[in-house]
């Protein structure tokens, strides 16, 4: 399906994770559609990713940015504006389940908020003049933790709850400009970070198998490609009358009857 994203300027935060991460997968899917992906991330890995895309003949830009620094985000948007003169969509994809729980310090809790929700606000804030001009849209990547809880991760849970609140608030706030705001909610996706966590466990493969059995549809993890494909559809004109929505890409993990779950023992 042609999503009409060719030459659209799409800014993706948290897009220089390891190969196979959600952000990196989104960037590659954008490139496949002919969009111009702008990577915003603090990891220098982004330079390598953009170089690969450029070798494919794909226009792309990496702006190395500490997304917990307001000035850095403001400057990143200035760089993007100076190069391209417009922004058609932003995908707020930053997310680190950092385990800042009730036993953590105030500083750790606040740092979790800065990374996982304040960065979303700042990228939207500074991109807004361009989005108004393009009648673009915002897509926030959320987590089931905002709705189900998890335990031991107050900062991340609060931040992801805030992300959903902002998604609806911005849908209301920006409807006068024709700007759409939506969120994707992910449950269990087998990202490189997830794999790294599994490897730290004494019996990681058994844990992974047990978790996979709790996912109703096909008893498997959500693929990052499935998240990326949904993301591109939502930011495209094919979703032109969709705003303020939470789209669950989770194999039924959050909503479906627990009777569907396989024996997890």
Q: Does 156 qualify as catalytic in the annotation?
A: yes
Residue 239's alpha-carbon distances to 30, 111, 115, 160, 232, in angstroms, are: 16, 34, 28, 23, 10
Q: What is the DSSP letter of 264?
A: -
Q: Helix H segments across the chain?
A: 22-32, 45-55, 70-84, 106-113, 119-134, 145-148, 154-174, 192-199, 204-213, 224-235
How far is 208 from 190, CA to CA, in rounded Å? 10
CA–CA separation, 211 and 221 (whole Å): 8
Angle at 119 (CA atoms; ends 148, 37), nearest 5 degrees: 100
Among residues 130, 156, 190, 253, the one annotated as catalytic is: 156
Distance CA 27, CA 48 (A): 13
140 strand-pairing partners: 92, 183
Euclidean distance between the first and final Cα of the chain, in Å? 41
Sign of CA dihedral 173, 113, 26, 129: positive
- What is the DSSP annotation of 109-120? HHHHHIIIIIHH
Task: Give the active site residues.
Answer: 156
């Amino acid at each position: 399906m042609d999503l009409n994203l060719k030459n659209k300027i799409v800014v993706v935060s948290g897009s220089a994770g390891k190969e196979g991460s959600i952000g990196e997968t989104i960037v590659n899917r954008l490139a496949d559609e002919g969009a111009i992906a702008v990577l915003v991330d603090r990891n220098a890995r982004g330079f390598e990713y953009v170089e690969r895309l450029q070798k494919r003949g794909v226009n792309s830009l990496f702006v190395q940015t500490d997304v917990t620094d307001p000035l850095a985000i403001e400057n990143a948007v200035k760089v993007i504006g100076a190069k391209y003169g417009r922004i058609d969509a932003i995908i707020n994809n930053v997310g680190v389940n950092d385990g800042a729980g009730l036993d953590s310090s105030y500083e750790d809790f606040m740092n979790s908020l800065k990374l996982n929700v304040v960065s979303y606000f700042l990228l939207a804030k500074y991109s807004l003049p361009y989005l108004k001009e393009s009648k673009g849209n915002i897509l926030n990547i959320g987590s089931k933790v905002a709705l189900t809880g998890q335990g031991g991760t107050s900062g991340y849970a609060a931040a992801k709850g805030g992300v959903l609140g902002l998604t609806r608030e911005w849908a209301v706030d920006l409807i006068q400009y024709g700007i759409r705001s939506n969120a994707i909610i992910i449950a269990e996706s087998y990202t490189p970070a997830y794999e790294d966590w599994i490897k730290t466990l004494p019996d990681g493969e058994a844990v992974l198998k047990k978790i996979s059995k709790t996912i109703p549809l096909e008893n498997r993890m959500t693929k990052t490609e499935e998240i990326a494909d949904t993301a591109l559809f939502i930011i495209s004109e094919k979703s032109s009358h969709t705003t303020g929505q939470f789209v669950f890409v989770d194999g039924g993990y959050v909503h479906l009857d627990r009777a569907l779950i396989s024996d997890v023992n």
